[in-house]
């Protein structure tokens, strides 16, 4: 790096994993507002956005593949929180241990962009929605870091989607004034994702040619949560139905285990299977509470042990209007 040591052009080297500064000349230290090389190298870059790392990886792939020899890009740095817009020339270096490093040269931007343009470009870099500009043949003119993370740079557009009909539908907006909206599926590395797709016709600001602006928002998590909520609601309904069925079956079993048998005109016999507890007494009472047919008396009484005549206990739960019937309780537990 000695050859760049006295260059008036700000020059520095950064490594990628983890992202950190490795070297800088005096002009770069001034640009970054660093008091010394040691303080510059000690700067903590752990809070750098994920989109910046994706951008570096994309640049490295482009240089290694021979697509470009170096990267020319306008970007903004923030030395001590002060924004500095610059035109960067970035080359790839390989460290002694095979570590990926980047050599940066910084120049003033060719044209001072408007504040709105700078802010829009910065927002596009950090937004989570994938944004892609396509030409009339479906070739990608530009894509933001979110699109690179989701689909990769090397895959062709038709490889992004599971349904081959998606790409013709996207390009179809060039012949229409209407936007194309759809939910589409994409599988990458065995993982299936669902995206809300929105495609609009627009013009390339560089050439004026018709282009397609494509937005892809990942809806996989939201749709999965909605599906889980529906499944839980269905299971709750099924459980309530099952519990009601069990309760009805239990009531029927109680009725069958203590049937009320009219053995004579004024006698009801209830053979019991099991214990005559409070719940079964209430069940029997309810079933005995149906009034007798017209012309037939139905007064309830019970025969106490050792008594020859029917009596109605003062604490009897049965209504007073029951006719004089002998109570025969033949139970076994």
Torsion angle defined by CA atoms of residues 191, 192, 193 and 199, in that order, rounded to the nearest 10 degrees: 120
pLDDT digits (tens, 9 = 90+) for 137-184: 999 998 999 999 899 888 899 999 999 999 999 999 999 888 999 999
Residues 164 and 184 in one domain: yes
Residues 63 and 107 in one domain: yes
Residues 96 and 141 in one domain: no
Residue 142 lies in a domain: yes
pLDDT digits (tens, 9 = 90+) for 198-245: 999 988 877 778 999 999 999 999 988 888 888 898 899 999 999 889
Boundary (domain end) residue, out of 68, 93, 115: 115
Q: Is 130 in contact with 215 (CB distance < 8 Å)?
A: yes
Q: What CATH number corresponds to the domain at position 188?
A: 3.30.450.20
> What element of type H or E holds 264?
strand 261-264
Boundary (domain end) residue, out of 83, 115, 147: 115
* Mean per-residue pLDDT, 85-102: 88
Torsion 141-144-147-149 (CA) sign = positive
Beta strands in 25-126 (DSSP E): 71-77, 84-94, 100-107
- What is the C-alpha to C-alpha distance for residues 161 and 199, in angstroms, rounded to an integer? 14
CA distance to 140, 164, 196, 287, per residue, from 214 (Å):
10, 17, 11, 72
Q: Which structural domain range is residue 235 located in? A: 228-257
Count the domains in the chain.
4
3-class DSSP state of 55: helix
**Does residue 320 register a pLDDT over 50?**
no
Residues 65 and 47 in one domain: yes
Residue 301 lies in a domain: yes
**Does residue 192 register a pLDDT over 90?**
yes
* Mean per-residue pLDDT, 41-58: 85
**Which one, of 283, 285, 281, lies nearest residue 320 by Cα?**
285
What is this structure's pTM?
A: 0.46
What is the 3 state secondary structure string of 209-228?
CEEEEEEEEECHHHHHHHHH
Residues 144 and 169 in one domain: yes
Residue 121 lies in a domain: no
Please provide residue 150's backbone torsions phi and psi, each rounded to the nearest 5 degrees: -80, -40
Average pLDDT, rounded, for the chain? 80
Residues 78 and 108 in one domain: yes
Residue 120 lies in a domain: no
Boundary (domain end) residue, out of 218, 244, 279: 218
């Amino acid at each position: 790096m000695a050859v760049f040591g006295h260059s008036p052009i700000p020059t520095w080297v950064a490594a990628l994993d983890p992202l950190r500064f490795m070297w800088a000349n005096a002009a770069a230290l001034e640009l970054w507002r660093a008091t010394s090389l040691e303080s510059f190298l000690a700067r903590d870059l752990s809070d750098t956005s994920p989109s910046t790392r994706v951008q570096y990886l994309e640049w490295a792939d482009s240089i290694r593949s021979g697509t470009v020899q170096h990267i020319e890009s306008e970007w903004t740095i923030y030395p001590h929180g002060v924004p500095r817009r610059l035109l960067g020339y970035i080359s790839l270096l390989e460290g002694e241990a095979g570590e990926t490093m980047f050599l940066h040269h910084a120049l003033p931007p060719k044209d001072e962009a408007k504040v709105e343009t700078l802010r829009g470009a910065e927002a596009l870099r950090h937004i989570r929605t994938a944004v892609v500009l396509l030409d009339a043949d479906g070739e990608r003119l530009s894509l933001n870091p979110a699109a690179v993370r989701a689909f990769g740079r090397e895959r062709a557009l038709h490889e992004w989607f599971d349904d081959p009909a998606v790409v013709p539908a996207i390009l179809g907006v060039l012949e229409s004034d209407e936007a194309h909206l759809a939910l589409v599926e994409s599988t990458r590395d065995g993982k299936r994702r669902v995206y809300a797709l929105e495609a609009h016709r627009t013009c390339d600001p560089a050439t004026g040619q018709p282009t397609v602006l494509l937005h892809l928002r990942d809806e996989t998590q939201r749709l999965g949560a909605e599906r889980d909520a529906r499944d839980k609601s269905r299971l709750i309904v099924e459980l309530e139905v099952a519990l009601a069925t069990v309760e009805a079956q239990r009531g029927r079993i109680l009725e069958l285990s203590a049937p009320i048998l009219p053995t004579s005109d004024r006698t009801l016999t209830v053979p019991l299977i099991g214990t005559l507890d409070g719940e079964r007494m209430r069940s029997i009472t309810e079933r005995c509470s149906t009034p007798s047919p017209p012309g037939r008396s139905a007064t309830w009484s019970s025969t106490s042990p050792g008594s020859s005549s029917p009596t109605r206990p003062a604490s009897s739960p049965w209504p007073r209007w029951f006719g004089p019937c002998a109570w025969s309780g033949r139970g076994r537990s």
